[in-house]
Amino acid sequence: MLLYLASMSGSVNLQLHRPHDVFTAMGRCWVLEDEFSYPINPNLRNSTYVHNTMRQKWAWLFREQQMFYDDLVGFKLPVPRRLASQMLRDTIDELRKALNHIREENNQMKIRLNRYRTQVKIRELVEGGWYEHAQFMQSLLADLIYQSDVEMSDEE
C-alpha cells in the first residue's frame, strides 16, 4: 500500500507502508463474520432501515450468544461476562455500542470454544502417535491471535 504524506511546506513524500505485524496493522482480528450490511452513504447512518437492521443483528447475536453460552457451560469452560444484554439499546447510538460489545463477547466465547476443541484434537493426535502434527497444533494455540483477552474476566 502506498501512502502519500504531505508536509506543511506542501512537498509530497512517497513512502512505502510495511506493517511489521499484519494483525496489529489491521486492528482487531475477528473470528466471527458480520452477516449484516449497511448503506455506505453517511446520510443514511441514522435511518429507520439501519435501525431495523441493527435490531435484527442484535437478535441474531443474542441467540448466537445463548448457543455459545450453552456450549461453554456444557464443556465446563469459563464463560466471559455477558454485560451487553444489560446495556441500554433505546437510541441508535446506544444500540451501536451494545452491538459492538456483544460482538466482542461472542468473539471471546468462540475463541474459547475453538481452543478447547483444538486441545481435544491435540490429545487425540498424541494418543494416535501423530506427535509432529500435535506439536504444530500446540504451537498454534500459543499464538496471541487465538488467546482470549484477559481483560474480559470470567463469571463467578
Could you report the per-residue pLDDT of 37-47, keeping only the tens digit for each?
666 677 787 88
State the cell numbers at 47: 435511518
Measured distance CA(67)–CA(45) in Å, rounded:
30
pLDDT of 98: 94
To which residue does cell 456483544 refer?
102
State the cell numbers at 151: 481483560
Residue 41, sorted as left (phi over 0), alpha (psi -120 to 50) or beta, turns out to be: beta
pLDDT of 102: 94
Could you report the per-residue pLDDT of 61-79, keeping only the tens digit for each?
999 999 999 999 999 998 8
To which residue does cell 458480520 refer?
34
Total length of the chain? 156
Q: Rounded to a whole number, what is the largest CA-CA distance in the chain? A: 67
